[in-house]
Amino acid sequence: MSTAIRKRVQKRCKIRGYNLKVDALDEILSFVSRFPDADANDAIDLLLDQLHNQTLKSPIIEKEAVQAVVALLSEAEAAGEEDGDTSHAASTTSAIRVVDAFLLPKLRYDSIKKLFYEHTGNLPIHGDASAKANLYRDRYQLLLQRLTRDQHFSKPAFDSEISNFGNCEISPIQSLVGQTGRKWVMGLISQLEDGHFYLEDLTASVEINLSNAKITTGFFSENTIVVAEGEMRVEGIFQVITCGFPPLEDREKSLKLLAGHDFFGSGVLSREETLRLAELEKKAVNDMFVIISDIWLDNEEAMEKLTTVLDVFENEEVVPSLFVFMGNFSSHPCNLSFPSFSTLRSQFGKLGKLIGMHQRLKENSRFLFIPGPDDAGPSKALPRCALPKYLTEELREHIPNAIFSSNPCRVKFFSQEIVFFREDLLYRMRRSCLLPPSAEETEDSFEHLVATITHQSHLCPLPLVVQPIIWNYDHALYLYPTPHTIVLGDRSKQKAFKYTGITCFNPGSFSSDGTFVAYRPCNQEVELSSL
Pairs from 47-53 (Cβ < 8 Å, separation ≥ 24):
47/73, 48/12, 48/13, 48/16, 48/18, 49/93, 49/94, 49/96, 49/97, 50/93, 51/18, 52/16, 52/97, 52/98, 53/401, 53/403
pLDDT computed for residue 163 by the predictor? 41
- Over 80: is that where the pLDDT of 185 sits? yes
pLDDT(515) > 90: yes
Note the pLDDT of residue 122.
84
Give the DSSP H or E segment for 89: helix 85-95
Question: Quick check: helix, strand or coil at residue 281?
Answer: helix
Write the single-letter amino acid at 260.
G
Task: Please tell me the predicted confidence (pLDDT) of residue 58.
Answer: 67
Tens digits of residue pLDDT in 244-266: 999 999 999 998 888 778 899 88
The closest alpha carbon to 458, from 408, 386, 497, belongs to: 408
Cβ atoms of residues 457 and 475 within 8 Å: no
Does residue 444 register a pLDDT over 70?
yes
In sequence order, what are the residues at sequence separation of 6 or more whose Cβ sits closer than 8 angstroms to the Cβ of residue 503? Answer: 484, 485, 486, 496, 524, 526
> 161 or 503, which is more confident?
503
Higher-confidence position of 517 and 32: 517
Please provide the CATH number assigned to the domain covering 251-423+459-530: 3.60.21.60
The mean-pLDDT minimum among 18-22, 106-110, 358-362 falls in 18-22
**Cα–Cα distance between 395 and 219 in angstroms, integer?**
40
> Is residue 66 predicted with pLDDT exceeding 90?
no
Characterize the bridge pairing of strands 214-215 and 237-244: parallel
The pLDDT score that the predictor gives to residue 19 is: 79
Highest mean pLDDT among 24-33, 217-226, 257-266: 217-226
The lowest-confidence range among 79-93, 177-191, 440-454, 510-524 is: 79-93
Separation CA 342–CA 333 (nearest Å): 15
What would the pLDDT profile of 456-491 be if each residue is shown by its tens digit? 999 999 999 999 999 999 999 999 999 999 999 999
Residue 161 has pLDDT above 50, yes or no: no
Given a cut of 80, whether residue 194 has pLDDT beyond it is yes
414: left (phi over 0), alpha (psi -120 to 50) or beta: left
pLDDT band at 195 (very low <50, low <70, confident <90, very high): confident
User: Which pLDDT band, with edges at 50, 70 and 90, does 69 fall under?
Assistant: confident
> Given pLDDT bands bounded at 50, 70 and 90, which one contains residue 84?
very low
Q: How many CB atoms lie within 10 A of CB 10?
A: 15
Task: Output 56 or 420, whichever has higher pLDDT.
Answer: 420
The predicted structure's pLDDT at residue 301: 96
pLDDT of residue 164: 42
pLDDT of res. 507: 98
Cβ count near 260 (within 10 Å):
6
24-33, 236-245, 336-345: which has the minimum mean pLDDT? 24-33
Average pLDDT over residues 376-389: 95
pLDDT of residue 59: 73
| Four-CA torsion 490, 442, 450, 416, nearest 10 degrees | 110
- The predicted structure's pLDDT at residue 62: 82
> Please, what's the largest Cα pairwise distance for the chain?
83
Which percentage of the chain shows pLDDT scores above 90? 67
Confidence of residue 85 (pLDDT cuts 50, 70, 90): very low
What pLDDT was estimated at residue 102?
Answer: 94
Residue 231, strand partner residues: 239
Q: What is the pLDDT of residue 40?
A: 79
Higher-pLDDT residue of 199, 337: 199
CATH node for 3-78: 1.10.8.60
pLDDT tens-digit map of 293-331: 999 999 999 999 999 999 999 999 999 999 999 999 999
Q: Which amino acid is at 433?
A: C
pLDDT of 296 reads 97
Determine if residue 345 is left, alpha or beta; phi over 0 gives left, psi from -120 to 50 gives alpha, anything else beta: alpha
- CA-based end-to-end distance of the chain: 54
- At 226 the pLDDT is 97
The arithmetic mean of pLDDT across residues 187-194, rounded, is 91
Confidence at residue 80, expressed as pLDDT on a 0 to 100 scale: 46
Tell me what pLDDT residue 528 has: 97
Residue that wins the pLDDT comparison between 6 and 405: 405
CB distance 94 to 46 below 8 Å:
yes
How far lies 105's CA from each of 123, 160, 475, in Å?
Answer: 10, 43, 8
Residue intervals of the chain classified under CATH 1.10.8.60 are: 3-78
Mean of per-residue pLDDT scores for the chain:
89
Q: Is 146 left (phi over 0), alpha (psi -120 to 50) or beta?
A: alpha
**Range of weakest confidence among 30-34, 113-117, 201-205, 478-482:** 30-34
List every span in the chain annotated with CATH 3.60.21.60. Answer: 251-423+459-530
Say if strands 225-232 and 214-215 run parallel, antiparallel, or are unpaired.
unpaired
